[in-house]
Structure 1
Amino acid sequence: MTKLTTVELKLLAREPGSIFTILVPLFILVVFGSSIPPGDTVLLPMTLAIGVGLVGLYQLPTTLATYRERGILRRLSTTPVRPGSLLTVQLILQFVLALTTCALLLAVAGTVLGAHVPSQALPVAAVFLLGTAAMFAIGLLIAAVAANGRTANGVGVLVYFPLAYLAGLMQPVDQMPDILARVGAFTPMGAFRQALHDVWTGLSPGPLPLGVMAAYAVIVSLAAARFFRWE
């Protein structure tokens, strides 16, 4: 398991998509953060949601679908290293990638931009874990049904941008039509952004966004497990 983790970590570090998922939210934060007051409670939660969304909806499904397309999962079934071990390692490493992205965003925002960072770490961690679980569940479902890595990549992009818009990551929620804003509250990314915003403003995350994220994490994960194919 340790050797497999080391090999997969090296492959992930060399993957251009990994760099992409780190640099895109960081670029948005730096470019727009330089013109936003330090006490702003909107931009940083938005970029955190963007970073986790890119890992869950783009990086994770593309990697897993590519492995199945290349027959890696099928070949592993004939070795002592079971396919389930690779899936577990990938989930852990993708989680570390999302965590690294968010940690870098927080570090840059707090030190370079002087942005507001919540002092209570527990609510932030709880929302991050729940939001990441919801995003990863959708990514696993995409990987389960995609025929190959290219298809998973395309589906991930097609899913990401509508979700990002409805979540208020491309246009502030208060500037969106009411119906779209209401729909966005019931999407995993919208619930994630709202829960982060609540924490950043010193409030406890509302039951609606927490419930929405939990529902996606559980229900979509079960669907992904049902449809997932090793070959």
Structure 2
Amino acid sequence: MMKLAIVETKLLTREPGALFSLLIPLFILVVFGSSIEPGDTVLLPMALAIAVGLVSLYLLPTTLATYRERGILRRLSTTPVRPGNLLAVQLLLQLVLAVTACGLLMAVAGTVLGAHLPSRVLSGVLVFLVGTASMFAIGLLIAALAPNGRAANGIGVLLYFPMAYLAGLIQPMQQMPDIVAAIGEYTPLGAFGQSLRDVWAGSAPSPLLMGVMAAYALVISIAAAKFFRWE
């Protein structure tokens, strides 16, 4: 298991998508962060949600679907290293990548930009974990249904932009029609982004939105497990 983790870590560090997942949210933060007030409670949560969204909807499903397409999962089934071990390692590495991306954003925001950081640390960690679980579940479902890595990439991109729009990551929710903003708040990425904004504003995250994200994580994970194919 440890050797598998080391090999997969090396492969992940060579993957251009991993670098993009780190740099794109950071670029957005730096470009727009230079013109905001230090007490802003919107930009950094938005950048964090973007980072998790990129890992979940682009990198995770593309990697797993590509492994199945190339027969790697099928070949592993005949060795002591079972495909389930590879799946577990990939989920852990993708989580580490998401944590690294968010940690980098917060470090740059707090030191270089002088941005506001939340005082509710435990609430922030809980929101991150539940929100990431809901987004990873979607990535796993994409990997389960996509016939190959290219299709998984395309599906992830097609899902990301509507979800990012509904979550207020492309256009502020205040500028959306009320019905669209209301729907967006209860999407996985929308609930995640709003919960992060609540924490940054010094409030406790909404129990309703936390429940929404947990429900998405559970239901979609079950669907992904049902439809997932090893070959």
TM over 0.5: yes
Aligned counterpart, 2:65: 65
1:10 equivalent in alignment to 2:10: yes
1:177 equivalent in alignment to 2:157: no
- Counterpart amino acid of 1:133? A
1:199 equivalent in alignment to 2:205: no
Alignment of 1:39-118 (within 5 A): 39-118=39-118
1:165-199 CA deviation, whole Å, 9 max, x = no partner? Answer: 00000011111111110110110000000000000
Aligned counterpart, 2:155: 155
1:138-176 CA deviation, whole Å, 9 max, x = no partner? Answer: 000000000000000000000000000000000111111
Aligned counterpart, 1:215: 215
Partner Cα distance (1:150, 1:144) in 2: 13
Aligned counterpart, 1:26: 26
Judge conservation of contact 2:119–2:202 (CA < 8 Å) in 1: no
Identity %: 74
TM-score, length of structure 2 as denominator length: 0.99
Judge conservation of contact 2:131–2:189 (CA < 8 Å) in 1: yes
Partner Cα distance (2:209, 2:57) in 1: 19
Partner Cα distance (1:28, 1:151) in 2: 27
Shift of 1:223: 0.2
- Counterpart amino acid of 1:212? V
Gaps of 5+ in 2: none
TM-score, length of structure 1 as denominator length: 0.99
- Counterpart amino acid of 1:140? L
Partner Cα distance (1:114, 1:203) in 2: 21
Shift of 1:121: 1.4
Partner Cα distance (2:208, 2:197) in 1: 13
Partner Cα distance (1:176, 1:43) in 2: 18
Partner Cα distance (2:129, 2:114) in 1: 25
Aligned counterpart, 2:123: 123
1:136 equivalent in alignment to 2:136: yes
Shift of 1:119: 2.3
Partner Cα distance (2:35, 2:177) in 1: 26
- Counterpart amino acid of 1:54? L
Gaps of 5+ in 1: none
Partner Cα distance (2:35, 2:223) in 1: 43
1:193-222 CA deviation, whole Å, 9 max, x = no partner? Answer: 000000000000012211110111000000
Partner Cα distance (1:62, 1:34) in 2: 33
Q: CA RMSD, aligned part only?
A: 0.5
Partner Cα distance (1:206, 1:87) in 2: 32
Partner Cα distance (2:142, 2:7) in 1: 24
Task: Report how many residues are paired.
Answer: 231
